[in-house]
Structure 1
Amino acid sequence: MPPTNREIGRELNVASTGHVDYHLTMLEKKNLIVRQPKKSRGIKLVKQEVAGIPLVGTIAAGQPLDIYATPSEHLDMGRDLVERENCYALLVKGQSMIEEHICDGDYVVIKPQQTCKNGDIVVAVHRFEGESGSATLKRFFQEKEHDRVRLQPANSELDPILIPKSIWDREWEIQGKVVAIFRQCDSAA
């Protein structure tokens, strides 16, 4: 049962029911609540759409990890990213992209697409016969002179993944391109 204005005021240490009413009116204008006139307990919450970009799993910045298809939660990000059609986020695991300032524990926002340009940071997926496959986060380079694809880490201590073009065409695909990187800062530090 919703509280009355007096009950709200008592819990918030606000003596004036007029102040409570003012704040309830502001919540109503923001479409967060609906009030029923002439009812002392006439407050209903408006169901909010899930905002943010779906976090669909983890991406390897190192050796490929398994692919996750079901969103586990949503990350609240700026409106311009949220409104991009079909973008999703992945949690980075590993250190292979640290020279691009993509660290273990960061989130990368991915724009789904199957093509990319040389130098784009992409989610490359290695598909196995009858299985979902594994994915890795690397810079993509198509090396026509060597007839291969190079997935380049951004860590000088690691070697690139070199894939002959015939194997790339048969077993690999681009799932999307990185359009943003987010890092959580520890405010206690």
Structure 2
Amino acid sequence: MSLEQASEIQRRMYDFIVNYMKSEGMPPTNREIGRELNIASTGHVDYHLTMLEKKGLISRQAKKSRGIKLTKQVQEGIPVMGIIAAGEPLDIFSDASSSINIGSDMIETENTYALVVRGRSMIEDHICDGDYVVIKPQSTCQNGDIVVAVHMQEGASGSSTLKRFFQEKEHNRVRLQPANSELDPIMIPKSVWDREWQIQGKVVAIFRQCIAAA
């Protein structure tokens, strides 16, 4: 079950447990959790731990003061799933090849992934060749969203491109708009879009590696 379905105090408790285990190499006690979250009652702490356990986020060993275990591996950074074209569509990504660390306090990192941008079609949105775009997986979007649009080709896994999405109902088509005044948009009849294309996610953040001069 997703952490998003937990209450705010349970999310804070889970984050503390994760960070404590990273820094100390062992889980915290109920008293340590209560002290961190300003909860005076260990029974109150135990209640929220029980809720996290019911949501499948942790498991606990009875009669052990440090008996908390995480039920899934904590992701170190955001996985980089491959290359995305800011230009002509490229072959779709598949498996993670590396990861980038951006800090979970900056954006919601659960289920997100990163892609390396290739091309200059989005430069007027300050997305340059070599940048990382962080993608939130979803199959729907709103007009103006920057999305990963996938063209599913017969007998192949498909190809993907990074563009702004616009549904032009008056023309019965979808427009994939580059952010480069030198380039033309991709115009797709609605019937073709419904049959051959899909949205795989939208951009929620952009990161650029800066190399300091020697």
TM-score with structure 1 setting the length = 0.74
Answer whether contact 2:86 2:161 (CA < 8 A) is retained: yes
Q: 2:194 aligns with which of 150, 169, 176?
A: 169
Q: 2:103 aligns with which of 71, 78, 86?
A: 78
Larger strand fraction of residues: 1
- Residues 1:105 and 2:130 aligned together: yes
Larger helix fraction of residues: 2
Q: Percent identity?
A: 72
Aligned residues: 148
Q: Could you list the runs of 4 or more consecutive aligned residues of structure 1 that deviate by over 2 angstroms after TM superposition?
A: 80-85
Distance 1:133 1:185, change over 3 A: same
Q: 2:169 aligns with which of 128, 144, 163?
A: 144
- Residues 1:124 and 2:149 aligned together: yes
1:169 is paired with a residue whose SS is: helix
Answer whether contact 2:78 2:109 (CA < 8 A) is retained: no
The structure whose Rg is larger is 1
**C-alpha separation between the residues in 2 aligned to 1:124 and 1:159?**
16
What's the counterpart of residue 40 of structure 1? none
Gap runs ≥5 in structure 1: 1-27, 34-47
- Larger RCO, structures 1/2 (Cα 8 Å, 6+ apart): 1
What's the counterpart of residue 31 of structure 1? 24
Return the offset for 1:72: 0.5
Return the offset for 1:163: 0.2
Answer whether contact 1:125 1:136 (CA < 8 A) is retained: yes
Return the offset for 1:80: 3.3
Gap runs ≥5 in structure 2: 1-20, 27-72
Answer whether contact 1:111 1:176 (CA < 8 A) is retained: yes
2:210 is paired with a residue whose SS is: coil
TM-score with structure 2 setting the length = 0.65
Q: Could you give the per-residue CA deviations for residues 110-154 of structure 1, whole angstroms, max 9, x where no partner exists?
A: 000000000000000000113111000000000000000000000
